[in-house]
Structure 1
Amino acid sequence: MSVKKALLVIVAAVVALAANGASAVELAGYLRSGIGGNGKGGGQVCFQNKNVDYKFRLGNECETYAELEFQQSLYKDESGLEFKYVGMLAYVSNQAQDYESLRFDSNGTNNDIALRQNWIGVKGIPGLGGITVWGGKRYYHRNDVHIIDYYYWDPSGPGVGIEDIDLGFGKLAVAVFQNKVGDTRQMWRPDIRVYGIPVNPNGTLEVGVDLFIDSSSDSPQTPPAVPNPDRQKVSPWFTIQHVQKPFLGGLNKLALQFAMGSAAPGNQVPQFDNTSDSKQWRIVEMLQWQPVSVFSGMLVFTYQNNTKRFGTDDARSSNTTWGLGARPVYHFNDYLKLQAEVGFESLTPKNGNTDTRNLFKATLAPTLVAGGTFFSRPELRAFVTYANWNSAAQVDGSMGQGACATSGTSGSVYACDQNGVTFGAQIETWW
C-alpha cells in the first residue's frame, strides 16, 4: 500500500471512530523542528560519538520529528468497564525544504512515516481489581533519559498483556511481544515486571525480566534465514531500578541491567543468532532537579560493557562506553529561561585498535517557554553548540572523517578539524 493510501485509510478510521464512539477523539502528541547551520557555512551537523547509543540532544537534533496519538473510548458502561483504542503515527524528515516527501527513498533522504501504536485496552473489569488487559502494537512501560533521548528499558512492539495486578506490596505486569523475519524466524519476548515496591520513604523499586525466546526451526532453510545452531534460544534481559520521587524537587532513577544472547543489544530489537558469548552490562543514573523555582536541570551518567553485542567482535559490538552530562536551567520567569548543556561520550573497543574515542559537546540556548518547570512545553529555543573530538574518534569515522588518518582529507564539512560549531533555532512540545 502506498503512503498516500495508508494515510487515507488511517484518517478514515479516525473519522469513523469519532462518529461512532461514545466521546470525541483525544489527540496527544510530540513534535520538534527547527533550522540550523554550521560554522563552515553549510547545514547543521549533529555531534555523536560513533557506536555510542545516544547523543546529548539540546541544540544537536538535525531533523523534524513528530508523533500524533489518537485515543478513543469505544465502549463504557455504568460499572466503569471501558474499551479504549490508541493509535499513533510518527513522521521524520531532514528539514531540507518546504515540500518533503514521506517516501523513505525520496532524494536519498531518510524521510519516513511509521505506525508506532495501534492497540485496544480494557480496564475496569468487574471483580478484577483495576487491572488492564490489552492487545496490539503499543508503547509499553518505556523508561528513558530525556536529555539524551535514550530509552534504556523499552520492550514496546506488537503484543498482548495484563498490567496493574495488585500484589499488595506492588503491582505486576505480564506481557508477550514478538519480532519476526518473514515467516521463518520468530522471537517471542515475554516481559514480566513488578513495580511500585516501597523500599524507603518516597522510594520504590521496579524489577523485571524480558526473555527473548527463539522459536525458529533448526531445519535447513533458504539463506539468510538459516538459524545458527549454536544460538542461545532463551536469552534473558534483567533490570532492577530504584526511583526516588520527589527528590530535590524532581526525581532520581538508578537502573542496573544485564542482558545476554539475543537480548544483548539491550533494546526491543533482538539480535537473531547471538550465542551465550554475547553480553551487556549497563548502569543508568538520572537526576532531574528543581529545588527552587528559578533553578532546574537534569544530570545523567551511563556505563555499558558490551561483548559481541551484535554477534561480532569488532569496535561496534565489543566495547565499553560511558557518558556524563548535565542540562542546568535558570528560569527568569515562567516564560523565559536560559539553558546550558554539556556532555561527554567515551568508547573504548575491546579488540583491534583499542584507542579510546572521546567526544565533548556544549550548548547554550536562550528559550521562550510556556511555564516555569524543567518539563514545561512548548519551547522556542535559539542555540549555539560547540563540540570537539579526539584523533581516535576521527580515525573511527566519527563526523565522517575516517579518511583523515590515511589521506589527510575527508568529505566532512569540517575536513580534518577535530572541533566544530553549529547554531540555529528549534521548537519542541508535547501535549
Structure 2
Amino acid sequence: MRLKLDHLPVAGLLFAWSPAWAQELRLPQQEPPPTASSDPAGELVRKLNEATGLELWGYGRSGVYSSPSGQAKGGYTLGGDLQHYRLGNEGDNYLEFGIGKQFALGKGSKLGFFYMPSIYNGKSGTAQAYVALSGIAGSSATLWAGQRYHRIHDIHILDKWILEDGDNYGLGIDGLPMGVLGRLNAAIYTADSIDSKSRNDNNAGRLNLQWQDIPSNANGKLTLTAALVSGKFSRGRDGLALGLMHQQKDFLLPRLNHTLVLQASSGHAAINGKFYNLDVRSPEKASGLPWDGAVAAAPAPPTPAASQPGAKQYRLLDTIDFQWGKWGGQALLGYQSLQPDNGVQTRDLSVGGRLSYGVAPYTKLLAELGSTRRNMQHQDRQQLSKATLAVAFSPNTDFWTRPELRVYVSHARWNQAASRANVTSYGSHGRTSSTLFGIQAEAWW
C-alpha cells in the first residue's frame, strides 16, 4: 500500500534494519541477473494450455507426517484466523485442480466453462463450477454465473485468505473498468453450494463489492471491499463487512513489499467477506432428528433460522515480504477481536515470520517462528508458540519458488490454559508440548 506516511511497518520489527546489516546481506540496488524460473510448474502449465487449448490451474500439497503417539500431526493453533503458522504444522493432504475451455464468439468476446474439483484428506468436493462471458462490449469485464470464488489476498505463511468471497451459487461481473481508478467486481450469492445437500434454511443472500487497484501513491495501491448479508435469522441479524487494504512495493527498501489491512464486520457477515455462522441444514437435520440416510418418521417442518449468532469482528494486520539475494521471507503482526451477539469477546494477537536462505543452487533452509495469544473474558490467557526448521529443495532458492519439497522438524509449546481449551485435541492428558517430523511437497500453477 502506498500511504503518504513514512512509517516503518510494525511487522518489520521482526527484521531490525541497520546499515551494517544491509552491507552484510549486500542488498542489490538493481534487479539480479536472470536465474531459473521461480514458477516452473506455471511454465509447464502454460505450455500445456498452448498445446491443448485448455486452461489449467490449481494448488496441491501432500506429505508423510509423524507425531508422538496420540498427538495431532498438525493444526497446532489456538483457533484464530491469524494463528496457523503452517510450515511443518499442516499434517494433511489437499489438491484443487481447475480446468477450463473458452470459445471465441467474435469481436473479442469469449464464452468459457470452468470446473475445479478438490480433494482434502481423501474427501472429494467441488470448489468451483461456472460459466463466463468475457470481453463484454470490447472491455475487460466478464459476466459469470455458477459457483466460483474471488480470492483477493492471502497470508501465505498462515494459509489464510483474508479478503475473499464465493464458495456459493451466484452471478456477477468482474473487472469492470473504472478508468484510472482501477477496476470493480460485483456479485450476488445465495448460501447454497454444489456440495451442500441441504437447502438455505435462512433464505440468506449476500452482495459483494471489490474495488481494486486504486492508485494511492508511488508504487502503492488500495483495495476496498464490502459485503452485505441479508436473511431470516432466529439468532443474530443481517450483516455488513468492510475492508481496506493498502499494498506498496519497494517500501523503504528495494524489493520489500508491505501490506496493511483494516477490516470490520457485523451480524452474519464474515470479516473476510463471506457468510458467518450460517447453519445451512437439510430439513431432517433442522428437525433435530439423527440423520443416517433415512428417517423413520416424518420430520417436523424446519424453522428458517441460523442456530448460531452473528458477531462483531475487527482486524488489523500488518505484513511484509522480501527477496534480497539468497534471503527471502514473510512476517506479520496481527490483532483480531470477535464479539458474538450476547457472547464472550475473544481477542487474538499473532506475531511471527518465515525466513528462507539459499545454500546451494536447488537447496534452501527455512525457519519459521510464530507466537499467538488468546484472551477471552473471565478466562485465563491462552498462549501457543511454534517453531520449525526445514531443508527445502526447489528449482531455485527464492522464497516463493514452487514446487518445493521440504524435510522439517517442528516444536509446539503451549500453556495450561491452552491445554484445557483444546482438551479434545492436542491438549489431551494435560499435554503442553509436541514435536513433529515430516516430509511435504507443495506446488501451485
| Displacement of 1:152 | 1.4
Q: 1:230-249 deviations in whole A, cap 9, x for unaligned?
A: 7423x110001101135442
How far apart, CA to CA, are the structure 1 residues paired with 2:321 and 2:395?
A: 19
Amino acid at match of 2:440: Q
Indicate the percent of aligned positions where both proteins have the same amino acid: 28
The 8 Å contact of residues 212 and 223 in structure 2, kept in 1 or not, is answered as yes
Partner of 1:397: 422
Matched, 1:387 2:442: no
Q: TM-score, normalised by structure 2?
A: 0.75
Alignment of 1:41-56 (within 5 A): 45-53=73-81, 54-56=83-85
* C-alpha distance 397-183 of structure 1, shift in aligned 2 (>3 A): closer
**Counterpart of 1:262 in 2: which secondary structure?**
coil
* C-alpha distance 82-340 of structure 1, shift in aligned 2 (>3 A): same
**Counterpart of 2:191 in 1: which secondary structure?**
strand
Matched, 1:287 2:308: no
Alignment of 1:41-120 (within 5 A): 45-53=73-81, 54-73=83-102, 75-93=103-121, 111-120=122-131
* C-alpha distance 262-277 of structure 1, shift in aligned 2 (>3 A): closer
How far apart, CA to CA, are the structure 2 residues paired with 1:320 and 1:210?
A: 23
How far apart, CA to CA, are the structure 1 residues paired with 2:273 and 2:424?
A: 25
| Displacement of 1:187 | 1.4
Amino acid at match of 1:68: F
Alignment of 1:25-424 (within 5 A): 25-38=54-67, 40=68, 45-53=73-81, 54-73=83-102, 75-93=103-121, 111-127=122-138, 129-157=139-167, 158-168=169-179, 169-180=181-192, 182=199, 184-214=201-231, 216=232, 227-228=233-234, 231-233=236-238, 235-247=239-251, 248-249=254-255, 251-264=257-270, 266=272, 268-272=274-278, 273=306, 278-290=311-323, 292-308=324-340, 311=341, 313-314=343-344, 318-350=345-377, 352=378, 354-397=379-422, 400=425, 412=428, 415-424=429-438
Q: 1:171-222 deviations in whole A, cap 9, x for unaligned?
A: 12211112046254221111112111111101001112100111x3xxxxxx
Q: TM-score, normalised by structure 1?
A: 0.77
Unaligned runs of 5+ in 1: 1-21, 94-110, 217-226, 403-411
Partner of 1:7: none
The 8 Å contact of residues 212 and 270 in structure 1, kept in 2 or not, is answered as no
Q: How many residues align?
A: 358
Partner of 1:24: 53
Consecutive aligned runs of 4 or more in structure 1 exceeding 4 Å deviation: 41-44, 264-267, 272-277
The 8 Å contact of residues 370 and 387 in structure 2, kept in 1 or not, is answered as yes
CA RMSD of superposed structures (Å)? 2.4
Unaligned runs of 5+ in 2: 1-50, 193-197, 279-305
Q: 1:10-56 deviations in whole A, cap 9, x for unaligned?
A: xxxxxxxxxxxx95333222111111212x35676224233323411
Moved more, 47-56 or 114-123: 47-56
| Displacement of 1:416 | 2.8
How far apart, CA to CA, are the structure 1 residues paired with 2:381 and 2:150?
A: 35
